[in-house]
Amino acid sequence: MKDSKTADQAPEDHTYDISTVCRLVGLTSANLRIWEKRYGAVTPTRSSSGRRQYSRRDLQRLTLLKTLTSLGHSIKSSAKLPFAELERRIEESARPDPGGGPVTSHACRICVIGGYVGTILDSENVMPERAVKVAEFPDLDSIEPSALPETVDLLIIECPALLVQEIPKIENLITGTKALRSIVIYTFTTSAVLESLENRVAQITPIRAPLSPGELKMLCETDVALTNRSADAALENAPLPGGEKEGIPDRQFSEQQLAKIAQISTSIKCECPHQLVSLLKSLNGFEIYSAECENENAADAEIHAYLHQSTAQARSIIEDALKVLIKFEGLNPEEA
């Protein structure tokens, strides 16, 4: 009789160090350590030199957890769930209502830039079940705009040398295809270029090559899940501009308080205060920008009023989250 082991029981045949796991899953090392120590998400073994070693099962588990948290689930409620329950929750999160079907009515449409990745997707059974390749080009410079699909859900871009001049090409490609998410697989680059790419392009996953077929499949499945989630659920039910304008909530933190909180966060292990401060500074800036556009541009006043209101509400939610985090981490409110 064939052994029907579950994912939790499958044998291990390979280990990964912490930098490889963070690269493949899309976590920082600080976040991964918090997931381990605070929530018990995985328990890596140790090498003879004391370095963390993660199994293939650990990698798969962390990938599922990353997908769930990106879909809005808390790591606290998900960290110790078995594989089957993690997969079930991901599937449930892709349903708009309890009795509905999948979020999207079509397979995730993938456009591939790069001959190596395209070949692996075709020949190694790497393509996710809910995805279809709609276009493929050898490299960024060989793309003909007229040959691009009108709409793409996921872009996979192979860029051996990720240089600063490649960023506008990637931006234009994402804009031209209306891609919801993109993966950039690079071999050589600099930290400055990576930072610029992530700052200028939203919903992007940069990852260093080489990737095995299994690693590429795992990466694609994660982004396909996120793409499916945002394809219908995120925008379809968004309120349209217009109607009575609700009040703009007052700011709960001054710029001076945010600066103090950001400085406090450098002395503790959790990076969340700093990240929330960064989000608030961006929201504050865009709130000012949209309010000015609302006042100065009569032709587009309605849409900018909507943007102003929505940004202010988002800012208020993040401010509430920061207040909870300040209390949770035991920070001194007087310093904030």
272-301 residue pLDDT tens: 777 778 788 888 777 777 776 655 554 456
Inside any domain, residue 168: yes
pLDDT at residue 8, rounded to an integer:
41
CA terminus-to-terminus distance, the chain: 64
Structure tokens at 87: 């997969």
Mean pLDDT in residue range 301-317:
75
Q: Which helix (H) or strand (E) holds 248?
A: none
Spell out the residues 6+ positions from residue 121 whose beta carbon is closer than 8 angstroms to its own.
Answer: 110, 112, 127, 133, 156, 216, 220
Structure tokens at 96: 């708009």
68 and 32 in a common domain = yes
Mean pLDDT in residue range 172-198:
86
Inside any domain, residue 310: yes
Mean pLDDT in residue range 58-73:
81
**Residue at which a domain ends, from 236, 266, 289:** 236
124 and 83 in a common domain = no
Instruction: State how far the Cα of 294 lies from the Cα of 300, in Å rounded to an integer.
Output: 7
Largest CA distance in the chain: 74
pLDDT at residue 204, rounded to an integer:
82
Distances (CA, A) of 7 to 53, 56, 178, 207: 19, 11, 36, 25
Percentage of residues in the chain having pLDDT higher than 70: 74
Structural domain count, the chain? 3
Question: 3 pLDDT exceeds 80?
Answer: no
**Residue at which a domain ends, from 53, 69, 93:** 93
pLDDT at residue 30, rounded to an integer:
74
pLDDT at residue 294, rounded to an integer:
53
159 and 232 in a common domain = yes
141 and 71 in a common domain = no
Instruction: State how far the Cα of 67 lies from the Cα of 62, in Å rounded to an integer.
Output: 9
Which residue did the predictor score with more confidence, 331 or 247? Answer: 331
User: Residue 34 is part of which domain span?
Assistant: 15-93
Helix extents (H) in 26-165? 29-39, 56-70, 75-78, 83-93, 115-123
* pTM, full prediction: 0.45
229 and 132 in a common domain = yes
136 and 65 in a common domain = no
Inside any domain, residue 163: yes
The single residue listed with the structure tokens 């090409």 is 169
Question: 134 pLDDT exceeds 70?
Answer: yes
Inside any domain, residue 9: no
Inside any domain, residue 101: no
Residue 37's pLDDT band, with cuts at 50, 70 and 90, is confident
- Residue 210, preceding bond cis, omega within 30 degrees? yes
79 and 40 in a common domain = yes
- Which tens digits make up the pLDDT trace of 115-129? 888 888 877 677 877
pLDDT at residue 157, rounded to an integer:
92
Question: 317 pLDDT exceeds 70?
Answer: yes
- Which tens digits make up the pLDDT trace of 228-243? 555 444 333 344 333 3
Q: What is the CATH number of the domain that holds 27?
A: 1.10.1660.10
Inside any domain, residue 245: no
CB 183 within 8 A of CB 157: yes
